[in-house]
Amino acid sequence: YAGGTRTKIGSNWDSMHGIASVGDLTGDGKGDIIAVESATGDLYRYSGPNFTGGSAVKIGTGWNVYDTLVGVGDLTGDGKGDIVAVETATGDLYRYSGPSFNGGSRVKIGTNWNSMVNLTGPGDLNKDGVPDLLAVNSSTGYLFRYSGPDFAGGAAVKIGTKW
């Protein structure tokens, strides 16, 4: 990432938000990403390694209600990556199961997540076999680790300050 060789793999990505790495959803051995088209709220899956528009598959609608989408790994144990999403209006945290992330797989797993920023799925930090989630409290600047699979407030461990 030091400015060496780079390869352009797409254009017009400024029309998208909620871009998240979600692992291999298609079973081809290559990582995929998802992204929300800002104008429509449609959710698209892009197949790796090039993530070109030709690989885009529409997999959902109505995703503009979320301001944060994070690929967190396999929370359900089915071998497919899952995502968590923060609903803008309520601050509720939802888990969607991959590979399709359809509304039927939506499970509410938390509240008041609108007080958190910079959510990221770093993998299994506490070595319990389940992916974890990192988030910064926007008012205190404290960095917290939340243990999966449900990231409940009781699972929060403060691991940093001034974030």
Per-residue pLDDT at 8: 77
What pTM does this model have? 0.88
How many of the other CB atoms lie within 10 Å of CB of 16? 18
- Digits of tens for pLDDT over the chain (163 positions)? 566 787 777 778 899 999 999 988 888 898 899 999 999 999 999 988 777 767 789 999 999 999 999 999 999 988 888 999 999 999 999 999 988 888 778 999 999 999 999 999 999 999 999 999 999 999 999 999 999 888 877 778 999 999 9
Amino acid 132: pLDDT: 94
**pLDDT at residue 1, rounded to an integer:** 57
What distance in Å separates the CA atoms of residue 101 and residue 44, rounded to the nearest whole number?
Answer: 10
E-assigned strand segments in the chain = 16-23, 32-37, 43-47, 57-60, 66-73, 82-87, 93-96, 107-110, 116-123, 132-137, 143-147, 156-160
Query: In this predicted structure, what is the pLDDT of residue 111?
Result: 92
Counting Cα atoms < 13 Å in the Cβ hemisphere of 79 gives: 3
CA distance 52 to 132: 29
What residues have CB less than 8 Å from 108, skipping those under 6 apart? 92, 93, 94
pLDDT of residue 127: 93
Short-list 34, 33, 39, 32, CA closest to 14? 39
